[in-house]
Structure 1
Amino acid sequence: MSIDLFRSPVWTLPPPPPAAPTYEAIPPSMSKVIDIEAEIPLQVVQLDGLVVTKILKHSREATSATVHGLLLGLDLDGTLEVSNSFALPHHVSDEDEKSAKSSGMRIHDTRRQCCGPYGEVQADDSVVGFYQATSLGAFFNQNLVEIQAIHQDKLRHGGVVIVHDLSLTARGNASFRAFRLTPAFLDAYKKSNFSTSSLVNHRLTFSSILEEIPLQVRTNPLLGSFLGSLTKSTPSLLPDATPETARSSVLPPSFSALDLGTTGLTRNLEQIIEAVDNYRTEEGNLAYLSRQIARERARADMYVAKRKEENAARVAQDLAPLPEEDVARLFKIPAEPSRLESMLLLGQIDAYGKSLESTASSGLIKMYGVRSI
């Protein structure tokens, strides 16, 4: 085997470096619409008619009192357009159902699993919040606050919660309201400090936990034509129909307006009594913890005063004073309890009271109408 030493070697050139990616500038006409940095504040929430019907259907067919799901959409120029939604299952036997934070993390896990098909069919798959059904307007609870706090921390534009009142819908008035947590409450929540001094500094009450955002419903032409067809009368199929029954409506007549609503008043009063009892129990627990804290602080103050007297006597006798010990190590003074739960209970009582006011006023009008007849 011979090797040619005079053959010129073959040099392999390195591959050319990849070209730098080029980015097209956003046109000035779209600079305000495409809010990449989330600088445009949220001004209004726009619900699509499909979302309204899906929430109503989910609330009516749910077997449990807890009804919630995720909202999908897009924010454009300060308007949060909610174009779709899907229901979330309700877990009853889970051990971690007691923790609201674990519920919020489970919602995010479900979001990653369920939002994939929406992106494959070129639909909006960006989560912009969640919805929750409630009764008698009392939606203040720990679970809603915790989940909304997680959403406002992880979502790009904060996200909103849509509250649907089942009691008003049962009376023929579909109720949808949009809320988000206030900056003052979020600051106290991140510090995990809901003591009396923190509430005073942040000026927090049950009415300043959430801020309401204006909400409007958008109906597309297809849904509008469908609703219009429901209101039109159709000819009767009976061959011997009288002139009065010759034409009938697609929707059956509803006599819900004739209901005096005494059942709702009784249930509303029961809910108010239960909420007041829960508030009194919570206030009793807070008072007991406050007495324990005051007792431990009094013991610590007595110990410090006694040690100062002993050191003063030793100094008078030309003796070295005793070393000062850590009072926090000797006396386990508990931290001031959180007053978040009591604030939420006050919000529930206020919501039940407003619902009772509206229900009682309409009931009185109906009773006076029946009396005149």
Structure 2
Amino acid sequence: MANQAAPVRSFLQAAAKTEEAPLPLRVVQIEGLAILKIIKHCKECSPDPVTGQLLGLDVGSVLEVTNCFPFPTRDEDEELEAEGANYQLEMMRCLREVNVDNNTVGWYQSTFLWSYQTEDLIETFMNYQENIRRCVCIIYDPSKSNQGVLALKALKLSDSFMELYRNNNFTGEKLREKNFTWVDIFEEIPIKVSNSPLISCVMTQLETDSPVNQCDYDRLQLSSTPYLERNLEFLVGCMDALSKEQQELQFHYRILARQQAQQQAWLQKRRAENMARKAAGEEPLPEEDPSNPIFKQNPEPSRLNSFLITNQIANHCNQINGAVGQNFSRLYLTKALHEN
């Protein structure tokens, strides 16, 4: 029997095998122009949420974001999905014609007081993951930026969370088995701002001789009562939502305990009946009856929403702590200036 020749591996097969173990994402490198576009779009439409597409390159462990474009806002009665897809394709075609990077690497969206932990964000991530090997979401908060801080985050879903989400395994037993907690849902990727040498030279020439800018003055604002007030309002709302989730879980366990008690009572009755049948020389009846409603499995509610709400609560607490600490620093500084 003749020896068979080894199959020739094509370039696509080799590339597919190489992609089996991609390098972990270490940093998101964003061009300064792309950041300015994101800030401009989000601030112009604040407090309404807006989104846009991120374009760039995936190079090793670095995800380069070189450009972006906004998604237009439309009325609810329009066909958003079809028109949105056509708009994206047309924009990317136009960018390709002018030799601009048109590879999708994710999307950006605005938020208010970091209230982005929603199931919609997770579903969007999963939809992107079906077509893109690696993508990120840039979150920008105009309300936080008004405090004199560039509120920008790059997020991705953790691999362990995506596995649980695909299998819809958010029961208490599965979460304990995987040792999964609410802090393991999102992974924050460090952001590095990059500008070409030519842009850096131009910015140096345009920079004024003033030692401070408007951002420095914004940090000295003593009044942050509205910011703290809104954070507290959001925190109270999250606590109410978490309380409802816990009540639903407690209700499930009460039903489960009642069902188990009914099952035990039924089993004791059936065993007594089987003992009587054995004494009479008859065949015993099965101890389990799937047709009986008390043996019907009651599905455990998902813990995903509770995890997202807990994550949101932690964000609001961190913002309140940070704002209060900055307020105390500014007040002490103002007091020292008045005394002098």
What range is the shorter-chain TM-score in? 0.7 to 0.9
Q: Does 1:346 align with 2:322?
A: no
The Cα of 1:364 is off from its aligned counterpart by 0.8
Distance (Å, rounded) in 2 between the aligned partners of 1:112 and 1:56: 23
The Cα of 1:57 is off from its aligned counterpart by 0.5
Which of 144, 166, 172 lines up with 1:190 in the alignment? Answer: 166
Q: Does 1:162 align with 2:149?
A: no
Distance (Å, rounded) in 2 between the aligned partners of 1:313 and 1:267: 70
AA partner of residue 253 (structure 2):
S
Larger Rg: 1
Q: Does 1:330 align with 2:293?
A: yes
Which of 103, 106, 113 lines up with 1:129 in the alignment? Answer: 106
Q: Using a 3 Å threshold, how does the CA distance of structure 1 residues 302 and 168 change in structure 2: closer, same or farther?
A: same
Q: Using a 3 Å threshold, how does the CA distance of structure 1 residues 294 and 24 change in structure 2: closer, same or farther?
A: closer
Distance (Å, rounded) in 1 between the aligned partners of 2:90 and 2:175: 39
Q: Does 1:292 align with 2:269?
A: no
Q: Does 1:359 align with 2:323?
A: yes
Distance (Å, rounded) in 1 between the aligned partners of 2:314 and 2:94: 41
The Cα of 1:305 is off from its aligned counterpart by 3.2
Task: Summarize the alignment of residues 150-229 of structure 1 with structure 2, pairs less than 5 Å apart.
Answer: 150-156=127-133, 158-229=134-205
Q: Does 1:267 align with 2:230?
A: yes
The Cα of 1:338 is off from its aligned counterpart by 0.2
The Cα of 1:141 is off from its aligned counterpart by 1.5
Gaps of 5+ in 1: 1-22, 26-30, 98-102, 234-247
Q: Does 1:309 align with 2:272?
A: yes
In the alignment, what sits opposite 1:256? Answer: 218
> Is residue 178–residue 213 contact of structure 1 (8 Å, CA) maintained in 2?
yes
> Is residue 137–residue 165 contact of structure 1 (8 Å, CA) maintained in 2?
yes
Task: Summarize the alignment of residues 143-154 of structure 1 with structure 2, pairs less than 5 Å apart.
Answer: 143-154=120-131
> Is residue 46–residue 142 contact of structure 2 (8 Å, CA) maintained in 1?
no
The Cα of 1:209 is off from its aligned counterpart by 0.8
- Kindly provide the CA deviation profile for residues 265-313 of structure 1, in whole angstroms up to 9, marking residues without a partner as x: 2222222112111111221122222322332333234323322221222
3-state SS, counterpart of residue 47 of structure 1:
strand
The Cα of 1:80 is off from its aligned counterpart by 0.9
Q: Does 1:46 align with 2:41?
A: no
AA partner of residue 172 (structure 2):
T
> Is residue 293–residue 336 contact of structure 1 (8 Å, CA) maintained in 2?
no
AA partner of residue 179 (structure 1):
L
Distance (Å, rounded) in 1 between the aligned partners of 2:174 and 2:292: 25
> Is residue 48–residue 217 contact of structure 1 (8 Å, CA) maintained in 2?
yes
Q: In terms of mean alpha carbon deviation, does 177-186 or 132-141 score higher?
A: 132-141
Distance (Å, rounded) in 2 between the aligned partners of 1:133 and 1:297: 48
3-state SS, counterpart of residue 219 of structure 2:
helix
Distance (Å, rounded) in 1 between the aligned partners of 2:169 and 2:68: 34
> Is residue 136–residue 352 contact of structure 1 (8 Å, CA) maintained in 2?
yes
In the alignment, what sits opposite 1:83? Answer: 66
Task: Summarize the alignment of residues 227-246 of structure 1 with structure 2, pairs less than 5 Å apart.
Answer: 227-233=203-209
3-state SS, counterpart of residue 115 of structure 1:
helix
Gaps of 5+ in 2: 1-9
3-state SS, counterpart of residue 327 of structure 1:
coil
Q: CA RMSD in A?
A: 3.2
In the alignment, what sits opposite 2:49? Answer: 66
Between the two proteins, what is the percent identity of the paired residues? 32
Q: Using a 3 Å threshold, how does the CA distance of structure 1 residues 284 and 366 change in structure 2: closer, same or farther?
A: same
> Is residue 130–residue 160 contact of structure 1 (8 Å, CA) maintained in 2?
yes
Structure with the higher helix share, 1 or 2: 2
Q: In terms of mean alpha carbon deviation, does 253-262 or 311-320 score higher?
A: 253-262
- Kindly provide the CA deviation profile for residues 176-223 of structure 1, in whole angstroms up to 9, marking residues without a partner as x: 222211111111111111010111112221211112222201112443
> Is residue 132–residue 161 contact of structure 1 (8 Å, CA) maintained in 2?
yes
AA partner of residue 57 (structure 1):
K
AA partner of residue 348 (structure 1):
Q
- Kindly provide the CA deviation profile for residues 5-60 of structure 1, in whole angstroms up to 9, marking residues without a partner as x: xxxxxxxxxxxxxxxxxx999xxxxx99xx76673332221101111001101111
- Kindly provide the CA deviation profile for residues 88-125 of structure 1, in whole angstroms up to 9, marking residues without a partner as x: 2345636999xxxxx8x997665445422222222222
The Cα of 1:351 is off from its aligned counterpart by 0.4
In the alignment, what sits opposite 1:17? Answer: none
Distance (Å, rounded) in 2 between the aligned partners of 1:76 and 1:94: 40
Q: In terms of mean alpha carbon deviation, does 219-228 or 131-140 score higher?
A: 219-228
> Is residue 148–residue 216 contact of structure 2 (8 Å, CA) maintained in 1?
no
Q: Using a 3 Å threshold, how does the CA distance of structure 1 residues 358 and 302 change in structure 2: closer, same or farther?
A: same
3-state SS, counterpart of residue 258 of structure 1:
coil
3-state SS, counterpart of residue 45 of structure 1:
strand
> Is residue 262–residue 363 contact of structure 1 (8 Å, CA) maintained in 2?
no
